[in-house]
Chains A and B, each alone.
Chain A
Amino acid sequence: MKVLVTVAEVGTVEDDFEIDGTAIDERYLEYDLNEWDDYAVEEAVQLVEEGLADEVVTVTIGPERSEETIRMALAKGADRSVRVWDDSFDGLLDVGVKTELLRAVVAEEEPDLILTGVQTGDAMFGATGVSLASAVDLPWAAVVNDLEFDGETAHVHRELEGGVEELTDVETPAVLTIQTGINEPRYASLRGIRQAQSKEIAVKTLTDLGIDGVESRLEMTEMYEPDVEGDATVFEGSAEETAVQLAGALREKGVGAQ
C-alpha cells in the first residue's frame, strides 16, 4: 500500500512585522513544516511501521526553498518526495489550482491512501483535502483525529465541535484530512536527518504534469493588521509591577479570597 501525504511549508510570523503589499515582508517570516501535515506524516509512517503500508510519498507545492521542509518529512520517515513548482505561481494559490496540480500527481502515483493536514497555519483555507478527493473521485473524511485501518475500510473519528466525535467508516482508497492530536509526531533523529539527504525529491513543472497553465480565480488585493477592537487595560511596568496591578484587579473580582 502506498500512502501519499501532502506536505506544505508555511510561513510563521514574528511578533513584530511589516506588511509589504499583499504579503508579510520576508524579513519577518520563518518557514516551517505545516503543523497539521506533521501529524499526517506521522500517521503515514506509523502505517508503515504497523506493516499496513509499504511506502510513504510526500507531495509539496512549493519553491526550491521548501526542500528544507520536505527534508524534515523525509527525515521523519517518508520514503521520497515530489515537489511541484512553476515560476508563474505567486501569492495565494486558490484551492482549485492546488487541486489541479495535486490531481496530476495522484494520477502518476496512484496511491492507496492520501493524507492531508486539515489546514495550513498561514492561509488557513482548510479545503485542499476534500477538494482533491472530489476531483480524483475518492471517498474522504475531513478532520480525522483517530484512524484505524483494517486494510479495506478506514474506521475514523471525525472531531466535531463541542467535544463530540463522529464515528465514520470510509472505503479506501480514500483521502483523509488529519487533525492535530491524532498521534505524537516524532522528532527527526540524527540518523533520519542524514538518511533524508539521499532520498529523492522529484521536481515537477507544469509541463511535466501535462498542465498547460493554471489560473487562480481568487486574488488577494489587500493585507492589513486588523484594528484592535478591544479595550483591555494593559498594565505597564516590570513583571513585578504588572503582577501587583493584576493581583489587585483579580482580588477585586474575588479571586484568591478563601
Chain B
Amino acid sequence: MTGVLAIAEHRRGELRDVSYELIGAGRELADDLDEELHVAVISGQVGEFAQSLSKEGVDVVHTVSDGAEFNHDVYTQVTERLADELDPTVVLVPNSVNGLDYGPAVADRLDRPLVTDVVDASFEDGLTATREMYGSKVETTVEVDAERTVVMVRGGEWPGASGNGDPEIREVDVEIDESAVRTTVTGFEEVGGGDVDIGDAEVLVSVGRGIGEAENIELIEELADALDATLSASRPIVDSGWLPKNRQVGQSGKTVTPEVYIAIGISGAVQHVAGMKGSETIVAINTDPNAPIFDIADYGIVDDLFDVVPALIDEFEG
C-alpha cells in the first residue's frame, strides 16, 4: 500500500529545499496512515536526484527521466500515471510556483479534492489541514471529505529530511503523450540586476504598501540616508513602479540577510518573509498590532509610520 506519493522539485540541476521538506511532511502523513512513503522525481538527472532523496523514512523513490527541466504537461501526465498505479491516499506537491503550475491539474484529472498552501496536516479519518487566509491574519482548519486528496505544502513549514535511508529505487518508464504537451520552456532569465545589490547591505530600510503614495517614498529614503542604510521594498512598491525590481525582498525578489532589517508599513506576508527572515535583527513599524511581521520581529512599534519615521530621522540627524 502506498500512503503518500510526494513529488520532488528541482531547478537547473539542483533539488530545491522543499523536496526534503516534502519528505518530512510525507513521512508524518504516512505514519498517520501506517503506510509507505514514495517519492517521485521527474526530469533532469534523476539518478543523482534519487541518491540525494534517499532519506530516512522514504520507502521507494521513483525516477522518471523525461525531459531536462520542469514542464507542467509532463509533470501532470507522470504524476497522474504514478497515482493511478500506486493509488496513494495523499499526493504531496510543493506549493511553489511550479507546484501551482501542475498540482491543480493533477487534482482535476484524478478527481481528487485539492488543499493548497498547507502549513500543517494530519490524517485520521480523513485529511485535516491548516491553512492561512486574509494575508495570514487568520488560520483555518479544513477537513476533507474524501478518501484521497492532493495536498500542496508551503515551503519552510516542515523540517527537511536529513538522515540517509535505503529506499528501493525504481526507474519508471512513462510514455508521454506528446500531443498533450502544449507548452515549451524556451529559457530562463535572471531579473533584478542593476545599481545596488540589496543582498550586500548590512542595514536595510524596507518600505511596504503602508507608505500609500509614490511621493512618500522620499520620507523613507531620508531615513535610509540618516541611518546610512540601503533602501529595499515589498512587492507592491515594485509592482507600482515606485522602486525598481532589484529592490524587492521576498520569494520572487531577493533573499537578504542584513544585520538589521527595518520593515516599515509591511504586513509580513509569507512571500515577503521568505526573503528576509534570516536577518539578524528585525524591526517592524506598523499600525496593525496583529500584522504577521510582529511574529518574527525583535523590536516593534505599533504606530503610524508618518509619525514615527520623522521622529526617528530627527533622532539620527538632530
Interface residues of A (CB under 8 A from B): 11-13, 15-17, 19, 22, 24, 92, 94-96, 99, 118, 121-131, 133-135, 139-143, 157-171, 174, 177, 180-181, 184, 217-226, 228-230, 232-235, 239-240, 242-244, 246-247, 249-250, 253-256, 258
Contacts of B116 in A (CB 8 A): 95, 124-127
Apart from A163-B253, A224-B140, A226-B136, what 12 extra A-B contacts exist at CB < 8 Å? A11-B134, A130-B72, A160-B11, A160-B252, A165-B191, A223-B133, A224-B138, A225-B138, A226-B138, A230-B294, A232-B298, A246-B308
Say yes or no: A250-B227 contact (C-beta < 8 A), given A15-B290, A131-B114, A243-B315: yes
Interface status of B44 (Cβ within 8 A of chain A): no
Q: How far is the CA of A14 from the CA of B146 in the complex (A)?
A: 35
Question: Are A124 and B117 in contact, with the CB atoms below 8 A?
Answer: yes
The range of chain B's interface size is 35 or more
Question: Are B143 and A219 in contact, with the CB atoms below 8 A?
Answer: yes
Instruction: Render B79-123 as a binary contact track against A, CB cut-off 8 A, 1 for contact.
Output: 000000000000000011110111111011101011111000000
Say yes or no: A141-B183 contact (C-beta < 8 A), given A226-B132, A253-B259: yes
Q: Report A31 CB to chain B, min CB distance, Å.
A: 13
Partner of A246, one of B117, B186, B283, B304: B283
Partner of A234, one of B105, B191, B251, B294: B294
Q: How far is the CA of A171 from the CA of B180 in the complex (A)?
A: 11
Interface status of B301 (Cβ within 8 A of chain A): yes
Question: Are B294 and A221 in contact, with the CB atoms below 8 A?
Answer: no
Contacts of B274 in A (CB 8 A): 161
Contacts of B113 in A (CB 8 A): 94-96, 217-218
Say yes or no: A217-B145 contact (C-beta < 8 A), given A121-B134, A133-B105, A165-B191: yes
Q: How far is the CA of A123 from the CA of B144 in the complex (A)?
A: 16
Contacts of A159 in B (CB 8 A): 97, 252
Closest 9 CB pairs between A and B? Answer: A243-B311, A239-B307, A181-B239, A139-B182, A134-B105, A127-B104, A222-B141, A247-B315, A217-B113
Question: Are B191 and A232 in contact, with the CB atoms below 8 A?
Answer: no
Say yes or no: A235-B97 contact (C-beta < 8 A), given A224-B139, A246-B283: no
* CB-defined A-B contacts under 8 Å, sample of 11: A11-B134, A13-B134, A99-B108, A124-B131, A126-B100, A129-B104, A131-B104, A139-B73, A166-B185, A177-B100, A181-B235
Question: Are B104 and A130 in contact, with the CB atoms below 8 A?
Answer: yes
Q: How far is the CA of A75 from the CA of B107 in the complex (A)?
A: 36
Partner of B186, one of A122, A123, A169, A222: A169
Question: Are B133 and A124 in contact, with the CB atoms below 8 A?
Answer: yes
Interface of A is mostly: mixed
Question: Are A223 and B191 in contact, with the CB atoms below 8 A?
Answer: no
Residue of B nearest to A143 (CB): B97
Q: How far is the CA of A217 from the CA of B289 in the complex (A)?
A: 35
Contacts of B229 in A (CB 8 A): 255
Question: Are B144 and A218 in contact, with the CB atoms below 8 A?
Answer: yes
Question: Are B289 and A242 in contact, with the CB atoms below 8 A?
Answer: no
Q: Report A65 CB to chain B, min CB distance, Å.
A: 18
Contacts of B138 in A (CB 8 A): 13, 19, 24, 223-226
Residue of B nearest to A184 (CB): B241
Partner of B183, one of A15, A161, A168, A224: A168
Residue of A nearest to B134 (CB): A13
Question: Are B101 and A228 in contact, with the CB atoms below 8 A?
Answer: no
Partner of A15, one of B105, B255, B287: B287
Q: Indicate the member of A141, A169, A235 with the most B CB atoms within 10 Å.
A: A235
Question: Are A218 and B115 in contact, with the CB atoms below 8 A?
Answer: yes
Say yes or no: A234-B139 contact (C-beta < 8 A), given A131-B104, A158-B101: no
Residue of A nearest to B181 (CB): A139
Q: How far is the CA of A13 from the CA of B267 in the complex (A)?
A: 13
Interface status of B219 (Cβ within 8 A of chain A): no
Residue of A nearest to B137 (CB): A13
Interface status of B192 (Cβ within 8 A of chain A): yes
Interface status of B124 (Cβ within 8 A of chain A): no
For chain B, residues 302 to 318, give those with C-beta under 8 angstroms from any C-beta of chain A: 302-304, 307-308, 311-312, 314-316
Question: Are B105 and A162 in contact, with the CB atoms below 8 A?
Answer: no
Say yes or no: A235-B299 contact (C-beta < 8 A), given A130-B104, A141-B183, A240-B311: yes
Interface status of B15 (Cβ within 8 A of chain A): no
Interface status of B296 (Cβ within 8 A of chain A): yes
Residue of A nearest to B284 (CB): A232
Say yes or no: A232-B297 contact (C-beta < 8 A), given A181-B235, A239-B308: yes
Residue of B nearest to A241 (CB): B311
Contacts of A12 in B (CB 8 A): 134
Residue of B nearest to A103 (CB): B108
